[in-house]
């Protein structure tokens, strides 16, 4: 008995019913894929907001700098260290910091200066892509600075406006200079929004008389799937006598939030899968119970119980296969659309901040192999489990009873 | 009836009791005012050298300053050349800085008040609060008599409950005879010593013997200090209000 032939004929013969069952399964599959990509996207998005935006994966400071960030606590051999770290396959950039007062017209505000190694920084963080208005820094305009969003608001400045900076340089003299607003960032983190002032590294070196050394080296792993602690240890081996910390150690609150989000997502996925399972189960049950009369006749014609079970399974397999192809294609397509366009949450909140980090109000989906494969696998398993009971029931039927089963 | 008499007696007794502290209070504030007026009459003009020594740099600045009343002060840097013409104006509770390099005047915000003034160990807040001991603190004589072979009076100043000050308490030690200040201790809010002011170098200034050298030593960095050395001091000279306006900063 050619089970598959028979099964496919059965599927075609009852195409209406098959279609409804398949659509239910395909839709479930699509939703599962979309949901999984959204959740994955949320995790990746929050990690990106934290790490790629500004923090980097790993940061190096001189000991004591993080507790008391003073101008003199510097990493001296920074050029050599950055080169050594890059040879290890990481990407790294040095930064220098300073404090002072920034005034515009009659408003003024304390600022936190950052001198940026323009060539290196673009390889490490995404700050340069996060400019809300104007442009990112450029070596050609050494006095053009980029401000944090709230700082620009506090000072009431627009692009091209003049800024006066007053501070104290490392040799004890007054540091004083005129700058021009070249760009204003979107929301990054509380500190940067309120006080961030960015300029090319050399400009800040001249301003505060810091001829050499950096205060911070930011490192990013090219491969985000590697083990962070192991990578941190590798960097530690290179940076002797310096403090090396990864972003999870620097921001334990945020790290924990993202980790617990992982668990929350698992729980949500399980609940979601159970809901999907009931839909599939229902469709398969109906599919079989509707045909008990038909099965009775088949048994009366001498089809053995095992053959009957095999037949039901084969039909289910065909249905699931078709449904999963449709569901996979649909889910992939929907997820891909949102991977590119994202869901805009900014209507609900201006910017979503947690623990001082601003999260991107655009929620992008992220397509991973897991997000595509698991829902399909799950669909097959659910269908197989769902059909066990009705198939066995059909196999056990006494033909006469089944024929009269109405 | 008896109750009434008792009450009356009590009431009449009250002012008599209150007289004693009042006398002390008056004496305290009298002495404090004397100390306050050492470098500042109704108006003053001074030439001061400021030396700042820190772990990372040592720098010397010469500046001239004018004051009028308690609220108005103007400093102008004479040396070094690099900073010549930099001015600090204190008027009411605001501090303005004029910077010749960029030809701009900046008003310091409250956020900058704890920042260092001109790289010294004094904060901008010190400049604003310098003459307000009486307004912000309750003073009391905590010790009088011989200490280290000198006859001294020690005042303890505690901030008034709602005073906008950053210190937990101040201790001022002066010579009992001449009311010349010797030492001033600043304690932070945890009552830990934060910094010490020492007064020395008695010389004729503005027609009387005054300490010409004031040194500020931060408690957490005993090797660092800021020193103010008075070269010249003239008190109660005519100074026009015009001088302490923002517009005058630019005109000079």
| pLDDT score for A329 | 92
Q: Are A112 and A159 in contact (CB under 8 A)?
A: no
The verdict on A211 and A116 lying in the same domain is yes
The verdict on A136 and A42 lying in the same domain is no
Boundary (domain end) residue, out of A226, A248, A270: A248
Parallel/antiparallel/unpaired status of strands A144-147 and A196-200: antiparallel
Q: Are A208 and A34 in contact (CB under 8 A)?
A: no
Residue B10 lies in a domain: no
The verdict on A73 and A200 lying in the same domain is yes
Best of A101, A105, A150 to disrupt the B interface (most B CBs within 10 Å) is A101
Residue B15 lies in a domain: no
| pLDDT score for B3 | 45
Boundary (domain end) residue, out of A214, A248, A282: A248
Give the whole-angstrom CA distance, residue B174 versus residue B158: 17
Residue B115 lies in a domain: yes
Whether A101 sits inside 8 A of B109 (CB atoms) is yes
Q: Are B55 and B221 in contact (CB under 8 A)?
A: yes
Question: Considering its fold, how many domains does chain A have in total?
Answer: 2
Residues A260-318: tens digit of each pLDDT: 877 777 787 778 778 777 877 777 777 777 777 888 888 888 888 888 888 888 888 88
Give the whole-angstrom CA distance, residue A391 versus residue A160: 75
Residue B14 lies in a domain: no
Residue A225 DSSP label: T
- Find, among B128, B76, B82, the residue nearest to B97 by Cα: B76
Neighbours of A287 (CB within 10 A): 22
Nearest to B82 among A101, A110, A173 (CB): A173
The verdict on A259 and A381 lying in the same domain is yes
Residue B8 lies in a domain: no
Best of B59, B104, B249 to disrupt the A interface (most A CBs within 10 Å) is B104
Domain containing A283 equals 3-52+255-404
B224 contacts chain A (CB < 8 A): no
Give the whole-angstrom CA distance, residue A393 versus residue A386: 12
CATH number (domain holding residue B151): 2.50.20.10
Does A279 or B15 have the greater pLDDT score? A279
Boundary (domain end) residue, out of A211, A233, A248: A248
Residue B27 lies in a domain: no
Residues A337-371: tens digit of each pLDDT: 888 887 777 666 655 666 666 666 677 888 888 77
Give the whole-angstrom CA distance, residue B151 versus residue B147: 6
- B179 CB-contact burial (10 Å; exposed 0-12 / middle 13-18 / buried 19+): middle
Characterize B119-139 residue by residue with b for buried, 16 or more Cβ atoms within 10 angstroms of its Cβ, and e for exposed: bbbbbbbbbbbbbbbeebbeb
Whether A168 sits inside 8 A of B107 (CB atoms) is no
The verdict on A73 and A47 lying in the same domain is no
Q: CA separation (Å) from A278 to A266, A386, B11, B46?
A: 19, 9, 89, 90
Nearest to B102 among A99, A164, A173 (CB): A164
Among A27-31, A68-72, B228-232, name the most confident range.
B228-232
The verdict on A23 and A76 lying in the same domain is no
The verdict on A284 and A399 lying in the same domain is yes
Q: CA separation (Å) from B128 to A130, B227, B229?
A: 40, 19, 20
The verdict on A244 and A353 lying in the same domain is no
| pLDDT score for B39 | 64
The verdict on A45 and A63 lying in the same domain is no
Q: What mean pLDDT is reported for chain A?
A: 83
Q: CA separation (Å) from A25 to A18, A102, B142, B159?
A: 11, 61, 87, 75
Domain containing B103 equals 36-251
Nearest to B97 among A166, A172, A173 (CB): A166
Question: Considering its fold, how many domains does chain B have in total?
Answer: 1
The verdict on A33 and A60 lying in the same domain is no
| Minimal C-alpha gap between A171 and chain B (Å) | 6
Give the whole-angstrom CA distance, residue A298 versus residue A277: 29
pLDDT at B21 over 70: no
């Amino acid at each position: 008995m050619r089970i598959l032939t028979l099964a496919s004929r059965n599927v075609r013969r009852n195409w209406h019913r098959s279609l409804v069952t398949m659509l239910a399964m395909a839709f479930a599959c699509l939703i599962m894929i979309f949901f999984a990509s959204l959740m994955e996207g949320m995790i990746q998005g929050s990690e990106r907001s934290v790490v790629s935006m500004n923090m980097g994966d790993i940061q190096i400071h001189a000991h004591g700098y993080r507790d008391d960030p003073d101008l003199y606590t510097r990493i001296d051999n920074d050029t050599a260290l950055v080169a050594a770290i890059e040879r290890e396959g990481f990407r790294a950039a040095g930064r220098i910091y300073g404090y002072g007062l920034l005034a515009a017209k009659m408003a003024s505000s304390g600022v936190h200066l950052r001198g940026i190694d323009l060539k290196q920084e673009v390889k490490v963080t995404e700050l340069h892509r996060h400019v809300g208005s104007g442009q990112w820094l450029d070596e050609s305009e050494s006095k053009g600075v980029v401000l944090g969003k709230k700082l620009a608001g506090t000072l009431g400045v627009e692009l091209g406006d003049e800024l006066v900076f007053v501070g104290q340089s490392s040799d004890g003299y007054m540091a004083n200079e005129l700058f021009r607003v070249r760009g204003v960032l979107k929301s990054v983190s509380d500190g940067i929004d309120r006080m961030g002032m960015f300029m090319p590294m050399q400009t800040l070196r001249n301003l505060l008389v810091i001829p050499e050394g950096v205060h911070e080296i930011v490192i990013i792993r090219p491969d985000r799937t590697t083990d962070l602690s192991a990578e941190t240890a590798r960097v530690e081996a290179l940076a002797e006598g310096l403090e090396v910390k990864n972003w999870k150690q620097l921001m334990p609150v945020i790290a924990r939030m993202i980790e617990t989000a992982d668990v929350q997502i698992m729980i949500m996925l399980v609940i979601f899968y159970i809901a999907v399972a009931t839909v599939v189960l229902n469709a398969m049950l109906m599919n079989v119970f509707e045909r008990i009369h038909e099965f009775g006749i088949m048994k009366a014609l001498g089809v053995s119980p095992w053959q009957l079970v095999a037949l039901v399974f084969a039909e289910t397999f065909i249905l699931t296969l078709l449904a999963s192809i449709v569901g996979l294609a649909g889910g992939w397509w929907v997820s891909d659309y949102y991977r590119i366009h994202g869901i805009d949450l900014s209507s609900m909140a201006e910017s979503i901040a947690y623990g001082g980090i601003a999260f991107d109000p655009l929620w992008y989906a992220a397509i991973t192999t897991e997000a595509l494969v698991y829902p399909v696998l799950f669909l097959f398993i659910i269908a197989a489990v769902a059909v066990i009971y009705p198939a066995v029931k059909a196999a056990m039927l006494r033909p006469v009873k089944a024929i009269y089963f109405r | 009836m008896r109750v009434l008499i008792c009450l009356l007696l009590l009431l009449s007794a009250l002012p008599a009791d209150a007289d004693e502290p009042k006398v002390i209070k008056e004496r305290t504030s009298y002495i404090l005012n004397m100390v306050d007026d050492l470098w500042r009459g109704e108006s003053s003009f001074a030439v001061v050298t400021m030396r700042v020594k820190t772990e990372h740099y040592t720098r010397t600045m010469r500046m001239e300053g004018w004051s009028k009343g308690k609220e108005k002060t103007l400093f102008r840097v004479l040396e070094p050349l690099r900073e010549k013409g930099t001015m600090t104006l204190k008027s009411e509770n605001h501090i303005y800085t004029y910077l010749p390099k960029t030809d701009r005047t900046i008003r310091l915000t409250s956020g900058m008040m704890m920042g260092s003034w001109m790289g010294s160990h004094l904060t901008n807040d010190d400049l604003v609060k310098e003459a307000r001991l009486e307004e912000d603190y309750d003073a009391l004589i905590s010790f009088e008599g011989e200490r280290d072979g000198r006859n001294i009076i020690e005042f303890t100043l505690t901030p008034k409950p709602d005073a906008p000050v950053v210190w937990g308490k101040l201790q001022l030690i002066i010579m009992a005879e001449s009311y010349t200040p010797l030492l001033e201790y600043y304690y932070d809010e945890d009552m830990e010593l934060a910094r010490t002011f020492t007064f020395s170098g008695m010389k004729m200034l503005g027609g009387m013997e005054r300490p010409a050298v004031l040194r500020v030593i931060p408690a957490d960095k005993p090797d660092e200090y800021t020193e103010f050395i008075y070269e010249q001091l003239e008190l109660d000279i005519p100074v026009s209000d015009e001088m302490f306006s923002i517009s005058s900063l630019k005109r000079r």
